[in-house]
Amino acid sequence: MKILTKEQMLNAEKRSEQLGVSLKQLMDNAGFALFEEIKSYAYENMITSCLILVGSGNNGGDGLVAANLLLCSGITPTVLLIGEVKAVLAKAAFCALDKDIPIVRLGDQGFESVINDSEIIVDCVFGTGFHGEFSQKISDLFAAVNNSCAYKIACDLPSGVDCINGFAASGTVKYHKTVSFHAAKLGCLISPAREFCGEIIVRDIGIPDAADNSFNTQIFDLKNAREVLPHRPDNSHKGTFGRVSLIVGSNKYTGAAVLSAGAAMRCGVGLTQVITTSEVAKTVAGIIPEATFLPLEPCYDGTISAENTETILSECEKSSCVLIGCGLGNTPNTTELVSNIVENAKGVLIIDADGINSICPNIDILKNTKARVILTPHPAELSRLVGNSLDNTLKDRLGETVRFCDKFGVTVISKSRESFVYDGECAYLIAEGNSALSKGGSGDMLAGIIAALAAQSVKPIEAAALGAYILGRCAKELSENFSKRSILPRDILNSMPGVLSKIED
């Protein structure tokens, strides 16, 4: 499924006009696409009427075009106007509305009964321009729609959904179907908005391919996973599947080393080396005897000392991928260590957790690295990376990710309920997973999975996307039989062989 941001969609429409497909033609095509979806449901269920909620903008214009077409097809539409129609194209559509179509205005006496009596309600009120909360009058309207037993269809996206970030206004209606034009809108695929969209149908409205030349976001699904997961020939050996070095853990955070190393080994890397303090190495070796270790004397605070830099870099030269950060701690010592690794590591370098926190005060160091860098921030870490507040970062998480990647030439997986991956050329949205992953340790596992895949020569953006997909599928499948609240990261690790087997099928 193709996914565009609000800005990308507006640009595609403008370029479409420059290429000879007018905005009026696009509206007519959108109205026809909406009409076909309404008609299909109405005919299938022997329904002969519907209610179309029409707002002041071009989203309302789409609904007005659909209303005329419905009347010609034997389905009687009623138009409920939500204020004055203001947009130029929508005004023209309103003037062209067939005189036999009943018009009701919000606030007219008895307008509530029109809603209650409808078997199909179509929302053409706000479209992509909405943000914030409903007015009291609009909130009351959508409360009545929500309480209706009608089949509910949203035009392009549900009213109340912010097209940029997936926020949803209080009182947003839960729709059975959302009919999106040209591409799904990003906000519809992000929680909490995705819970209100129902089935998302994307309909072509005639925008030429040449008009849509920006990168677009694709959903990373099972098909992608099967294409990306590296083949394992039987005539192979451990060297065939790469070597990864994990610079992880501290005396305070032993578990991060266990989980990242365990996840890496579960995902098929040939050799896994854990570079950590001597105390942590003893613990991890007792749990994961298959790994190799570089035990180091710790700094006074139990973290890996920056004095070990040369030794670490020498070992890392043997690996095709290096991961740094899981459970490392965030101290002046680790800041120095991470800076040294970022400046000198080669191949693929994954920076996670405290690795990210360590580079934030000196972010330009990313411009000097020799490695192909993958960063794995959760929202708070992303806000530190981009130098913005958490609230502002969440308002445009994909936009912040894109701008950061373009500036520093790195790959970023922006983690949350839905994760984005972007590398300067294309983007993936991974919508797997659930609250079973809302526990400490999930990020360590993800970093280990990505490292293992990158070590097996999977492209950085695909390693990050596939890693998030695998982790999410593990959580989903475990949740089919167990409570999400009780699932632990170690359960996720143990379920990985079964999930990978299904991907391989």
pLDDT of amino acid 213:
81
159 neighbors 129 (Cβ within 8 angstroms): no
- Cβ-based burial of 483 (10 A; exposed 0-12, middle 13-18, buried ≥19): exposed
pLDDT of amino acid 66:
98
267 neighbors 246 (Cβ within 8 angstroms): no
| Phi and psi based region of residue 24 (left: phi greater than 0; alpha: psi -120 to 50; beta: remaining) | alpha
137 neighbors 105 (Cβ within 8 angstroms): no
pLDDT of amino acid 64:
98
Q: Residue 175 is encoded by which pair of tokens?
A: 């729709």
Terminal Cα-to-Cα distance of the chain (whole angstroms): 23
Angle formed at CA 249 by CA 246 and CA 255, multiple of 5 degrees = 110
pLDDT of amino acid 314:
96
Burial 259-278 (b: 16+ CB within 10 A, else e): bbbbbbbbbbbbbbbbbbbe
Span 364-423, pLDDT tens digits: 999 999 999 999 999 999 999 999 999 999 999 999 999 999 999 999 999 999 999 999
For the chain, percent of residues with pLDDT exceeding 70: 100
| CATH class of residue range 222-504 | alpha beta
pLDDT of amino acid 2:
85
3-state helix, strand, coil in the chain (%, to 5): 50, 15, 35
pLDDT of amino acid 255:
97
pLDDT of amino acid 281:
98
Instruction: Quote the CA–CA distance of 431 and 481 in Å, as a whole number.
Output: 20
Those residues with Cβ within 8 angstroms of residue 223's Cβ, 6 or more apart along the chain or in another chain? none
Q: Residue 315 is encoded by which pair of tokens?
A: 């070992």
Amino acid at 260: S
Pairing mode of beta strands 76-81, 103-105: parallel
Looking at domain 2-214, its CATH superfamily turns out to be YjeF N-terminal domain (3.40.50.10260)
List of the chain residues with pLDDT < 50: none
15 neighbors 211 (Cβ within 8 angstroms): yes
Amino acid at 245: S
Domain boundaries in the chain?
2-214, 222-504
pLDDT of amino acid 60:
97
Taking each continuous run of H as one helix and of E as one strand, the counts in the chain are 19, 19
Span 113-127, pLDDT tens digits: 999 999 999 999 998
pLDDT of amino acid 216:
79
Give Rg (Cα) of the chain. Answer: 26
374 neighbors 413 (Cβ within 8 angstroms): yes
Taking the mean position of all CA atoms in its chain, how far away is CA 162? 15
